[in-house]
Amino acid sequence: MDIVETRRENLRRWVAANGTPAKERSFFSQLQKDASFGERVARRLEQQYKMGVGYLDTPIGVGLPPKAPFDENVVPAQLGLRPIPVISSVQAGALRDMETPYPTGAGYAYEYTDQDLSPWAFALDVEGLSMSPEFKPGDRIIVDPEISPNPGDFVVARNGSEQATFKKYRPRGIDGAGNMVFELVPLNDDYPTLRSDTEHLSIIGVVTEHRKKLRRS
């Protein structure tokens, strides 16, 4: 292969890896076919497009054309060693009355986490659409009852009937008896906001992790 054909082939490979500069689309096309491809043009292209000195003259097979950087934006995850039981909302609502965290077999499934959570941590399956679109039915949340909520945290709370609900926590100040008044706010505007000064509500725990399913059968 003569030097001109070597330059054409190296240019074709460079274009395949990096694309054709818009302002020289026609010129590059001609160079790869039948236009004159002399020393001066080769050196200008190498310098202007940072191909490396002598890149276009490198015999085919000796070197590879430079490649665009690959967007490597994930790394292998460290699998958690701590099992977290997935429990029912009824179990979650009764947590404050349990003497031990979870008897054997209390969870109908288990999630594993690398978070440093308390022995009382548990997981729940999301049901309904009150927290959509961020949380959808079938997603799972991990909750720790030993963490105090901050404004904007997602929390699990219960009412006087031992029913559990999952909402966004929004404090609203202190009432006359010195108790914190808070709201439980759904992300879906079609559902009502709950207030602790109008019905009996207590926080069970703070959501520390959200595991979503991207496809559902």
- pLDDT tens sequence across 154-202: 999 988 777 788 999 999 999 888 889 999 999 999 999 999 999 989 9
Report whether pLDDT(51) > 80: yes
Distance between CA atoms of residues 163 and 91, nearest Å: 9
Nearest Cα to Cα of residue 202 among 160, 149, 166? 160
What is the residue-averaged pLDDT of the chain? 83
Domain 82-211 homologous superfamily, CATH? Umud Fragment, subunit A (2.10.109.10)
- pLDDT tens sequence across 17-44: 888 888 888 888 888 887 788 888 889 8
Q: What value does the mean pLDDT take over residues 82-109?
A: 67
Give the pair of three-digit tokens for residue 132.
Answer: 């959509």
Domain boundaries, the chain: 3-57, 82-211
Q: What is the value of pTM for the model shown? A: 0.61
Cα torsion for 98, 104, 105, 107, to the nearest 10°?
Answer: 50
